[in-house]
Chain A
Amino acid sequence: MKIWKRNTDSDEVRQYLLGNLSESARERLERRVLDETGVTDEVQASEDELIDQYLGGRLNAKERKRFESFFLLPKERQQKLRFGRTLQKYLDSLPSVKADQETGKSRFRWFEPRPVLAASLLVICLSVLSALWWINHRRVTTGLNGQTLAITLDPGSSRANDGRTQRIEVPAAYGAVEVQLEMASNEYRLYEVELLRERQLLNTYKSLQAQNKNGRLVMVLVIPAQLLEPGDYTFRLSGTTNADQIEYKDQYQLRVTPAR
């Protein structure tokens, strides 16, 4: 079996997709497309990368011209381009988590040659944290801790239309938040709700039943307030069929903003 040499072969596939290969080189590659599954995968992945580079403005003038006049001719690729745009827009709407926040090794690398700066920042951070603790402590002791904040969320996407995202301030003064998810119909006996923060699953609430509140059909969840730190939350509602299959039904968005 021929081993796929990632870098050199990827460049060749890229030129192939832009229609820049000689006839003999094209024929060699296409015979491999017919014979080897790995090559087909490589072609697909390179197509996606070209599309992302085009959308990101990372093709040079010559590549861009070939992309528009050759690569984009098939309808299938025009669909891929539209999809690439949508995916990009979706990803842009998500809060970015910097890669170097994910490894302890690289997280502190910047500070290594700057011990005085690191110590100063540490002192500042401790001061800020102390102040925040004091403010929070005052609010909790004088506030509404133990009470429940009730909010109602409408179904549907909201990132495409920011005006529909329900926002609340971080509910630190409350003991719990009662979230009512509005439902159009009640076709399942039982439901479950996944709670996600920034696309990370926080909790799954199972064996839930729809309730009627003042003539509205809602799913009620009671969430400890301290769980709702600032960030974007998604409630993904699914129904359980009689055959115990989980079927996705709807999702709801909530943005928790820092306290002013």
Chain B
Amino acid sequence: MKKNWVLSQESFDALLKWLSADRDQAGRIYEEIRQRLIRIFTARACTEAEDLADETMNRVASKLPEIGGTYSGDPAVYFYAVANNVHLEFLRRKTPTSIPIPIDDTADMEDRFRCLEECLGVLSADNRELVIQYYQDERQARIDRRKLLARRLDIAPNALRIRACRIRASLLKCVENCLGENID
């Protein structure tokens, strides 16, 4: 990508058009790919996952005039190849970091606790029950409880696992909002 290249409205429109002729559908695909790139950069322990995903999206947009007419195949694969380059550049420029493990000070924990209680209060009774039952207890008791819960809800254990994980994600978001540390 040329230095100082900035994503213009025209480039963005061209990128959406490349993803789908239907603009709404293209917008959904764009956001889906971006979210998954963030996931990938996070999984590679990148500290600036969102920035790297945006850099990838911009870089693909900047290359469209060259590849738009000739590239055939799933655009996601092309995004992935560009993401690998962006990641390599990130590794080259980053300095080794050692991070301290976050330590809870008591005041912060009390605020988090209060926010968690509030957020649990906002969940539906079923979801609240599920998340408490799913994550409570240790080892064998936890395994037994999860089996019972899956049987009671008449769903497969992995479906229960994913459902609990999604409720947990929504709780995390709610708690961070409550604390004023908005994350998306």
Contacts and interface: CB of A to CB of B under 8 A. Distances in A.
B40 to A, nearest CB: 5
Given A43-B43, A82-B102, A199-B129, A56 B183 contact: no
A83 interface: yes
B77 interface: yes
Contacts of A73: 45-47, 97, 99
B137 A83 contact: no
Contacts of A34: 33, 36-37, 40, 76-77, 79-80
A74 B136 contact: no
Given A19-B44, A99-B144, A78 B117 contact: no
Interface residues on A, range: 35 or more
Contacts of B45: 19, 70-71, 73-74
A21 B181 CA distance: 33
A236 B116 contact: no
A103 interface: yes
Contact of A79 (B80, B109, B176): B176
Which 3 pairs between the two chains have the least Cβ-Cβ distance? A99-B144, A160-B113, A99-B145
Interface of B: 33, 36-37, 39-40, 42-47, 49, 74, 76-77, 79-80, 97-99, 101-102, 104, 109-110, 112-114, 116-118, 120-122, 125, 128-129, 132, 135-138, 141, 144-145, 148, 158, 161-162, 164-166, 168-169, 171-172, 175-176, 181, 183
Contact of B168 (A19, A33, A71, A87): A87
Nearest to A31: B80
Contact of A45 (B47, B74, B112, B165): B165
Nearest to A35: B76
B72 to A, nearest CB: 17
Given A79-B183, A82-B102, A161-B110, A17 B43 contact: yes
B137 A99 contact: yes
A223 interface: no
B153 to A, nearest CB: 13
Given A90-B116, A157-B113, A44 B169 contact: yes
A31 B77 contact: yes
A211 B172 CA distance: 36
Contacts of A96: 136-137, 141
Contact of B161 (A45, A80, A199, A251): A45
A244 interface: no
A86 B135 CA distance: 12
A85 B161 CA distance: 19
Q: Which of A31, A44, A99 has the most chain B CB atoms closer than 10 A to its own CB?
A: A99
20 contacts: A19-B44, A30-B40, A33-B36, A34-B80, A35-B74, A41-B166, A44-B165, A69-B98, A74-B42, A76-B49, A80-B172, A87-B171, A89-B109, A90-B117, A91-B135, A91-B136, A96-B137, A156-B114, A199-B128, A248-B121
Interface in A77-125: 77-83, 85-91, 94, 96, 98-100, 102-103
A208 interface: no
Given A86-B175, A89-B109, A103 B165 contact: no
A72 interface: yes
B183 A76 contact: yes
A181 to B, nearest CB: 14
